[in-house]
Amino acid sequence: MARKVMIACALTGAADTPSKNPAVPVTPKEIAESGIAAAKAGAAIVHIHVRDPKTTGPSMELAHYREVMERIRDSGTDVVINLTTGAGARFVPGSNDPMVPDPSSTMRTAAERVQHVVELKPEICSIDMGSINMGNYVFVNTVPQIEEIAIAIREAGVRPEIEVFEPGHVMLSNRLIKTGHFKSPPLFQICLGVNWGTPATPEGMNYMKSLLPDDATWFTFGCAAQQFPMVAQAMLYGGHVRVGLEDNLYLARGKLAPSNAALVEKAAEIIEVMGEDLATAADARQMLGLRQPT
């Protein structure tokens, strides 16, 4: 019997990708429209960062998050909304004094990083479970910061999506489940192929999966060229999938993706070819125990 597989679409991210693919949405209107199109293509969940419309760089502006959510909801699109809490965690040491952050650093307090979630109360929000060298900067998430964000998410009544980039992140997550920071059954996102985390390979996915609690629901994604191979691998291992322009700019070798919807459509084809069914947003809410959006 076919199982229902959820597709999450990560719409824009925070990296300097608009300069590499003009399809990456930047303004709140573009991000919302891209999310609506992704939902129509088969995504049950949209994962949302926001950007500064003038610079195209990452933003933490509450008004931008609010506009994206309102545009999606006002369109009548039935999709689960997942907001990031990853913004505000980039640290680059100064070239002259490593104790002084380089201007490209974006460090903010835990309260600032979760403010939009507390205010807007999406159905889901992501929470990153540790620090990692990510390209040439450090993505900083200390245990006290994680615990503070987790408590705020729990008190807001929002379902945390626990993002793990390497095995130690899973081990910390399991501890915070035991301490009550996260409720059971947990929801995980296994992030593969991010420099310098767990590689996007069948072995990497299987090992990360093996560390999860038995009752966990898990998604996974692979970056860049490994996006679609990891979709297929997740079907074999019983997971759900994430695709989108945050993680991959190409539809095929040498062919830029024209939209998030196109990436969702290709993932949906893989899922169906491998004998599984697509989950709707309504299915996702039931499977994840989500409250109905307000």
| pLDDT tens, position by position, 168-201 | 999 999 999 999 999 999 999 999 999 999 999 9
> How big, in percent rounded to 5, are the helix, strand and coil portions of the chain?
35, 20, 40
- This prediction has a pTM of 0.97
User: CA of 72: how far to CAs of 77, 81, 263, in Å?
Assistant: 6, 9, 19
Residue type, 239: G
Size of the chain, expressed as the number of residues it contains: 294
Q: What is the model's pLDDT at position 262?
A: 98
How far are the Cα atoms of 6, 72, 111, 212, 291 from residue 286, in angstroms, in the given order?
11, 20, 30, 21, 9
pLDDT score recorded for residue 294: 62
Per-residue pLDDT tens over the stretch 139-150: 999 999 999 999
User: What pLDDT, on the 0 to 100 scale, is given for residue 136?
Assistant: 86
Residue 134, number of CB atoms within 10 A of its CB: 17
Residue 152 confidence (pLDDT) above 90: yes
Beta strands in 84-223 (DSSP E): 90-91, 124-128, 132-134, 137-139, 159-164, 187-192, 217-222
pLDDT digits (tens, 9 = 90+) for 214-236: 999 999 999 999 999 999 999 99
Domains, the chain, with CATH or none: 4-288 (3.20.20.70)
Neighbours of 16 (CB within 10 A): 11
Q: So what's the pLDDT on residue 39?
A: 98
CA 132 – CA 157 distance, rounded (Å): 28
Paired strand residues for 188:
162, 218
Distance CA 51, CA 65 (A): 9
* Amino acid in the structure at residue 170: V
Q: With a cut of 90, say whether residue 2 has pLDDT above it.
A: no
Q: How, if at all, do strands 90-91 and 50-51 pair? A: unpaired
Nearest to residue 218, comparing CAs of 261, 173, 259, 181?
173
Structure tokens at 143: 């245990």
Mean pLDDT of 261-288: 98
Residues above pLDDT 90, as percent of the chain: 97
What confidence tier does 85 reach under pLDDT thresholds 50, 70, 90? Answer: very high
Q: What percent of the chain has pLDDT over 70?
A: 99
Pseudo-torsion of CA 282, 266, 213, 184, nearest 10°?
A: -20
pLDDT at 15: 94
- The pLDDT of residue 84 is 98
